[in-house]
Amino acid sequence: MGATRMGKTTCLIHLLKQVRAKNERAVILDSTGELTDKFYRPDKDHLINPLDARSVSWNIWDEQLEPYGYDAWAATVVPDGKADDFWPASARLLLSTTAQKLLKDGNLSMSQILHWSCLQPLGDDTIAFYEGTLAEGMMRPQSEKTTTGIRLQLLKTLSAFGYLKTDKPPFSVTYWVKNTKDSGEWLFLMAKPDQRSTLAPLVASLFNFAFLGLERAGVDFKNRLWMAADEIAGWDFQITGLKRMVTEGAKYGACCVLGFQNKSQIDALYSHAGTKTLLSNCSTKVIFRSQDHETAKDLSLTLGEQEVLSSSEGFSMGAHHMRDGVNLSEQRRVQPTIPATEIMSLNKLEAYVLLPGNFPATKVKFNIPT
């Protein structure tokens, strides 16, 4: 954690180099393309970005979901509403139902999800398509006003589906995670800055599928899967399974690495309670300079406090020299181990590292990786 351009990505690059040297797998959530440019190997790794020529093909049906799995997937694609839950809940129902209906019909095209759920005019065709499904009532011409609102809610998150490639062999995230433990392959979920708003719902759902693959593989303390997300708040989109990843992922082999600038960014996406869950379950913390005093105070508390015993001496003089005296007193007080001012005065590439266990926070300096 730390301000922009202070060294967070540099720190992550050093870590990923060690992961690569140990031939361990990784899922990289890359919001700029920098990590992809540095680590992607065309002959071994996998990239999903429908706006990039190197991308593999992907569709939801290759993830082999149970009916309830489509509901969970829809919840990762359509975010919660800030006020009214009706619209996002209805949009999720429509998305899940459409995907399951296309599976039943054998029409496995992601663009068809976009077509039927958002673009096909309401009429006899939509009535016939959704007949007998949970979305039947909302896809009739009589419900056009309500349906238009639901479709607009869904259309905001499905635009990436129209770009997904179909000219390459399909790639299943859950299958890859479950069945390639010793491969040393990496999966890159990447978007350039100007692509984030379009691709964020797709990328968030794929990141969740990576954790689902670990759950399907079962408890495994031996084989690690590094799940790294640099500048996670930069997507401006909530990864719904992230809290579960950091709280339950260790027993499946997940090693979560999260980078962000300050707590307020994460509060806005995951709530104050969600931020506490994320921070408390990331046992190793690397803290770079913060420009804001309030943020620096929060980071100072994150690094811990110490109890200090101080002594003071007082001298009193009486009317007679026999009444003169010396008073000694001790005072215990609690103070931050690393004051906020020290965090605010860190140089670029300098950071405090706090490891799990009985270890003090240590100041380190990173080199620019070659």
341-351 pLDDT, tens digit each: 999 999 999 99
Among 40-54, 125-139, 229-243, 310-324, name the one with the lowest average pLDDT: 310-324
Distance CA 119, CA 114 (A): 7
Distance CA 189, CA 84 (A): 31
76, part of any domain: yes
260, part of any domain: no
**pLDDT tops 90 at residue 203:** yes
Segment 124-133 mean pLDDT: 93
Q: What is the pLDDT of residues 64-92, one digit of tens each?
A: 999 999 999 999 999 887 667 889 999 99
Q: What is the pLDDT of residues 148-175, one digit of tens each?
A: 999 998 998 998 988 998 888 889 999 9
DSSP-assigned letter for residue 281: H
- The beta-strand segments (E) located in 35-101 are 46-48
Residue ranges of the alpha helices (H) in 195-326?
196-217, 242-248, 263-281, 293-302
281, part of any domain: no
Q: What's the domain count of the chain?
A: 2
- Residue among 174, 156, 164 at smallest CA distance from 63: 174
CB 273 within 8 A of CB 263: no
Amino acid at 86: F
Q: Identify the domain containing residue 299 by its residue range.
A: 294-365
DSSP-assigned letter for residue 1: -
Distance CA 96, CA 74 (A): 6
Q: What is the pLDDT confidence band of residue 142, given thresholds at 50, 70 and 90?
A: confident
Expressed in angstroms, the distance from the first to the final Cα of the chain is: 23
Q: What is the pLDDT confidence band of residue 302, given thresholds at 50, 70 and 90?
A: confident
**pLDDT tops 90 at residue 40:** yes
DSSP-assigned letter for residue 78: S
pLDDT of 325 reads 67
Among candidate residues 129, 161, 193, the one where a domain is terminated: 161
pTM of the model: 0.89
Tokens 């179909």 -> residue: 166
pLDDT of 15 reads 95
Among candidate residues 110, 129, 161, the one where a domain is terminated: 161
- 166 three-class SS: coil
Structure tokens that stand for 351 in this block: 């950071």
List the CATH number of the domain containing 131.
1.10.8.80
Residues 6+ apart with CB under 8 A from 151: 91, 94, 117, 118
15, part of any domain: no
Pairing of β 225-229 and β 25-30: parallel
**pLDDT tops 90 at residue 110:** yes
CB 2 within 8 A of CB 261: yes
pLDDT of 61 reads 96
**pLDDT tops 70 at residue 47:** yes
Segment 208-220 mean pLDDT: 93
**pLDDT tops 80 at residue 326:** no
83, part of any domain: yes
pLDDT of 263 reads 86
Sign of the torsion formed by the C-alpha atoms of 271, 261, 209 and 356:
negative
195, part of any domain: no
Distance CA 264, CA 275 (A): 9
48, part of any domain: no
Pairing of β 225-229 and β 254-258: parallel
CB 174 within 8 A of CB 137: no
Percent of the chain whose pLDDT exceeds 70: 95
Pairing of β 25-30 and β 186-190: parallel
CB 260 within 8 A of CB 231: yes
Q: What is the pLDDT confidence band of residue 322, given thresholds at 50, 70 and 90?
A: low
pLDDT of 133 reads 94
Classify the phi-psi angles of 137: left when phi > 0, otherwise alpha if psi is within -120 to 50, otherwise beta: alpha
**pLDDT tops 70 at residue 318:** no
Distance CA 212, CA 297 (A): 36
**pLDDT tops 80 at residue 316:** no
Among candidate residues 115, 137, 161, the one where a domain is terminated: 161
346, part of any domain: yes
Query: Exposure pattern of 271-302 as b/e (b: 16+ CB <10 Å)?
Result: eeeebebbbeeeeebbbbbbeeeebbbbbbeb
Classify the phi-psi angles of 133: left when phi > 0, otherwise alpha if psi is within -120 to 50, otherwise beta: beta
Q: What is the pLDDT confidence band of residue 95, given thresholds at 50, 70 and 90?
A: very high
**pLDDT tops 70 at residue 118:** yes
Percent of the chain whose pLDDT exceeds 90: 61
